[in-house]
Amino acid sequence: MNIVQLNNLEDWYLANFESQLKGRQILFDDIHPLINNLSSKFKKEQIGFSENKIPIYKISIGLGSIKIFSWSQMHGNESTGTKAVFDLFKLFETPPSSHKNYIETILTNCTLQFIVLLNPDGAINFTRENARNIDLNRDAVDKKAVESKLLRKHLDSFKPQFCFNLHDQRSIFNVEGTPNPATISFLAPSEDVERTLTEGRKETMSVIVAMNSLLQQLIPNHIGRYTDEFYPTATGDNFQKLGYNTILIEAGHFKNDYDREITRKYNFYALLQGIYFISTASSFKNYKPYFQIPNNDKMFLDIIYKNIQVVENNETTKTDLGIQFKFKVINGKLVRYEAIEQTGDLSDYYSDNVVNAEKLNINELKLSNS
Instruction: Give the residue at shortest CB distance from Zn ion.
Output: 167
Task: Quote the strand ranges of 30-88, DSSP E.
Answer: 43-49, 55-61, 66-72
Which residues have C-beta within 8 Å of that of residue 74, sequence separation ≥ 6? 118, 119, 136, 137, 147, 151, 165, 167, 235
- CA dist 268 and 17 (Å) reads 10
Give the binding range for Zn ion (CB under 5 A) out of 112-120, 167-175, 251-259, 271-279: 167-175
Q: Does 75 bind Zn ion (CB under 5 A)?
A: yes
Furthest CA-CA distance within the chain = 73
Q: How far is the CB of 128 from Zn ion (least distance, A)?
A: 6
Question: Which of 58, 70, 72, 78 touches Zn ion (CB under 5 A)?
Answer: 78
Check binding of 58 to Zn ion (CB under 5 A). Answer: no
Contacts with 166 (C-beta within 8 Å, 6 or more apart), sequence order? 70, 71, 72, 73, 78, 80, 81, 82, 84, 85, 249, 251, 267
User: CA-to-CA distance for 151 and 38, rounded, in angstroms?
Assistant: 22
Q: Is 154 in the site for Zn ion (CB under 5 A)?
A: no
Distance CA 148, CA 57 (A): 14
Contact 172, 298 (CB under 8 A): yes
Q: Is residue 24 at the binding interface for Zn ion, with CB under 5 A as the rule?
A: no
* Piece of the chain touching Zn ion by CB under 5 A; list 78-86, 90-98, 174-182, 264-272: 78-86
79 or 180: CB nearest Zn ion:
79
Site string for Zn ion, 185-224 (x = CB under 5 A): ----------------------------------------
Q: How far is the CB of 78 from Zn ion (least distance, A)?
A: 5
Alpha helices in 231-328 (DSSP H): 235-241, 263-280
Q: Does 139 bind Zn ion (CB under 5 A)?
A: no
Between residues 131 and 346, which has the closer beta carbon with respect to Zn ion? 131
Q: Can residue 167 be called a binding residue for Zn ion (CB under 5 A)?
A: yes
> By rule CB under 5 A, what count of residues binds Zn ion?
3
We find the least distance from the C-beta atom of residue 166 to Zn ion, in angstroms, to be 8
Cβ neighbour number for residue 319 with a 10 Å cutoff: 17
Residues that bind Zn ion (CB under 5 A): 75, 78, 167
